[in-house]
Chains A and B, each alone.
Chain A
């Protein structure tokens, strides 16, 4: 099985369309600040419900979103804060939604697992594993039939690859040559379970190529620039009408499946190894090495991201809860 093409980070570095490294760094820093704050707020009981953070995986969100147009579609998972922020969702409205406030993206009716903003192509996070994948195939079908030139990206984890929805959706996109990108964040764990124990074929890219004849690549998900390069190429293929692409981005989830999960199923050695490849550090080191910015300048960007999130938290705390009668609104449209 040698069909899988691996996007080498060093190739991405040499690409003429140089990755917007500083932009990527800014996005990774913003997501890092958002998720770090959310983790603490959830621990302290300020955010209700269930929360799943993407700490450690921010490079994928940043790299993918930077390759998309504002009108391209995106659907994501229960672990979707980073993708939605990277696509351009309003930070204040995001945070307010997690607080359940009326100023939230869904006026407090969706919550962490259902942040959406269709005005910028975000069809939403989704609390059903694998459910966003067919939705994105539908968005790609709309784009093709309405001749809109828009690309549709489905984020999902490698755990979702054992759902039938993944296989049915990839096959549909393949037979209809749809402009769909299947973006698998392979963080090695399906909730609490080592994913390698749940399939004989560890490579999602291999399963996709062999099973559905769909172009698939594997990329270092902790290298935002490499993700950006791979996604740019996939977007180009889609816009040229060459059909769907799967990108398997190898990454690692620092926190548990949900906030509060103590992760007894992981080893310290593994966690440390991946933390040493922190996407924020990887990106920062490269930027400094290439002379695009100094470490001090990057520190200032990261501080500014923290401050921006602090503002969003303050605004969310100050915002109103929805009035009781709102519970009955938005069930049906007129």
Chain B
């Protein structure tokens, strides 16, 4: 990494790689595990070079056995290692949920703190690449619903690194969700990272508070620039912990709350934030809380149909303007 005084410019995927390299360099108990993460450098090249630099004992290729190796990573986390274990697509949670949901999330509690499980479940999601219904799901609400898991979703280049480093240092299981449509995005690395659990106000505005995370941060920032409404964009950065204080402060000022996510809208994380906003700010909101998410439909393969379902920045701008017009 450059030691120049100006901020380092890099890409989202390289920031993730740099975060892992940082962790591996500073913590001899850290390991990276997953399918193709070692010699092959990862199917999106996100772990490229790590095996050469840190050895295949610490950047460990696994068989295509998610239940086995994710479970082993959880066991390793109980016994002195600090694994960053990759689940190649978030959809594959379906084949390894037990070690995450029933083991990592529960064992600290059930042993009254005797077992500590410092582990990062690294995964990625994202529609818009014709990956089909089994490779496109944003399932953050599913993991956020399970007590005992932290859930972080970097939407910026610096968070791609900072949240990974912080997740690896956390004594708890953390699900770290990348969005592959951001992999090539350029940005700078902050010298003074925000702590895990604190939301970031990405754009200041006066009319509408837009709460979002992950890939939709970029869309919402663009919408704020394009819209006639003055939009304040809050990048939550993590769903667990959930920084409602920042959301409530903003929405109490703007009087309008709009929650935007790429995941399907029904029973999504937006419903939780909308409910809390309504509960806390009933008297202060000028219009009802609104949500934008994907319809509750499996993501189709062909690009034209995919575009029909994917939430877009354009809809964010129009909805914000409609909310202003409404009251």
Residues of chain A whose beta carbon lies under 8 Å from any beta carbon of chain B:
73, 75, 105-107, 109-111, 114, 116-119, 123-124, 126-128, 131, 133-139, 141-143, 145-146, 148, 152, 164-165, 167-169, 171-172, 175, 329-334
Report the bound CA distance from A138 to B67 in whole Å. Answer: 12
Q: A109-B112, A172-B63 are in contact. Are A332 and B79 (CB under 8 A)?
A: no
B321 interfacial contact with A, CB 8 Å:
no
For A152, what are the chain B residues with a Cβ–Cβ distance below 8 Å?
75, 79
Q: A106-B114, A134-B74 are in contact. Are A73 and B67 (CB under 8 A)?
A: no
Q: A146-B29, A168-B65, A169-B72 are in contact. Are A134 and B150 (CB under 8 A)?
A: no
* Pair A332/B150 contact, Cβ less than 8 Å: yes
**What are 28 contact pairs spanning A and B, CB under 8 A?**
A73-B79, A107-B112, A110-B112, A111-B110, A114-B110, A114-B111, A116-B115, A118-B114, A124-B111, A127-B102, A131-B102, A135-B99, A138-B71, A138-B72, A138-B78, A138-B79, A139-B76, A141-B75, A152-B75, A167-B68, A168-B63, A168-B67, A171-B68, A172-B72, A331-B147, A332-B148, A332-B150, A333-B171
* Pair A333/B113 contact, Cβ less than 8 Å: yes
B123: min CB distance to chain A, Å? 18
Total chain B interface residues with beta-carbon distance under 8 A: 42
For A123, what are the chain B residues with a Cβ–Cβ distance below 8 Å?
75, 78-79, 115
Which of A109, A119, A142, A329 interacts with B79 by CB under 8 Å? Answer: A142
* Pair B81/A142 contact, Cβ less than 8 Å: yes
B250: min CB distance to chain A, Å? 26
B46 interfacial contact with A, CB 8 Å:
no
* Pair A143/B79 contact, Cβ less than 8 Å: yes
For A134, what are the chain B residues with a Cβ–Cβ distance below 8 Å?
67-72, 74-75, 99
**Interface-central residue, A126, A134, A136, A329, by most chain B CB under 10 Å:** A134
* Pair A165/B111 contact, Cβ less than 8 Å: no
Which of A105, A118, A169, A330 interacts with B68 by CB under 8 Å? Answer: A169
Query: 19 additional contacts, CB 8 Å, given A135-B99, A331-B148?
Result: A73-B79, A109-B111, A110-B111, A116-B111, A118-B114, A134-B99, A136-B75, A137-B68, A138-B78, A146-B29, A152-B79, A165-B67, A165-B98, A167-B68, A168-B69, A175-B63, A329-B112, A330-B108, A332-B148
Question: Closest residue of chain A to B76, judged by CB?
Answer: A138
Question: Can you list the 3 inter-chain pairs with the closest CB atoms, starting with the nearest?
Answer: A138-B75, A168-B68, A134-B71
B25 interfacial contact with A, CB 8 Å:
no
